[in-house]
């Protein structure tokens, strides 16, 4: 098969999902939910639209993920005084514990994925991915 960047990225993403899939299920989380917990733990309470904008995903999809996280006790929603529509989402203690476990799984995955890479190669790889993302993001925004 031709080694295009598109296919290499797709295969790496798919392999990562397969590697982490059992862990996400064992923690009681669904697809896409760990990143929301990580954001909330790192940045503190925020509104749903902030999550949708940061992760560049549909607000309705974020709402569904948050509903499930709330049912699982990983987050709680609080009303903002004088604005019932602008609720704030915050991570619970249970959510923090699960997020810590998730980060451990991700660190192990990264160790496996980057086995045999030098520190310089890891740094360069991270830089390349960041730059590729920014190029696509910038081009997508200019096409709107």
What is the tens place of the pLDDT at every residue in 59-109?
Answer: 999 999 999 999 999 999 988 776 655 689 999 999 999 999 999 999 999
Query: What percent of the chain shows pLDDT beyond 90?
Result: 85
What fold, for 21-113? Arc Repressor Mutant, subunit A (1.10.10)
Phi-psi region of 82 (alpha: psi -120 to 50; beta: other; left: phi over 0): left
Residue 136 vs residues 9, 55, 58, 114, 142: alpha-carbon distances, Å: 14, 14, 18, 24, 10
Residue 22 vs residues 17, 34, 37, 67, 101: alpha-carbon distances, Å: 9, 13, 18, 22, 13
């Amino acid at each position: 098969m031709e080694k295009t960047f598109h296919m290499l990225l797709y295969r790496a993403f798919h392999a990562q999902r397969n590697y982490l899939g059992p862990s996400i299920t064992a923690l009681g989380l669904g697809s896409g939910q760990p990143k929301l917990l990580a954001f909330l733990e790192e940045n503190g309470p925020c509104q749903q639209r902030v999550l949708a904008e940061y992760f560049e995903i549909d607000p309705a999809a974020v709402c569904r993920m948050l509903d499930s996280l709330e049912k699982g006790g990983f987050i709680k929603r609080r009303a903002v005084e004088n604005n019932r529509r602008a609720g704030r989402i915050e991570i619970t203690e249970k959510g923090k514990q699960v997020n810590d476990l998730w980060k451990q799984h991700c660190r192990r995955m990264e160790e496996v994925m980057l086995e045999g890479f030098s520190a310089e190669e890891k740094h360069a790889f991270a830089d390349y991915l960041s730059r590729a993302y920014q190029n696509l993001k910038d081009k997508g925004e200019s096409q709107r």
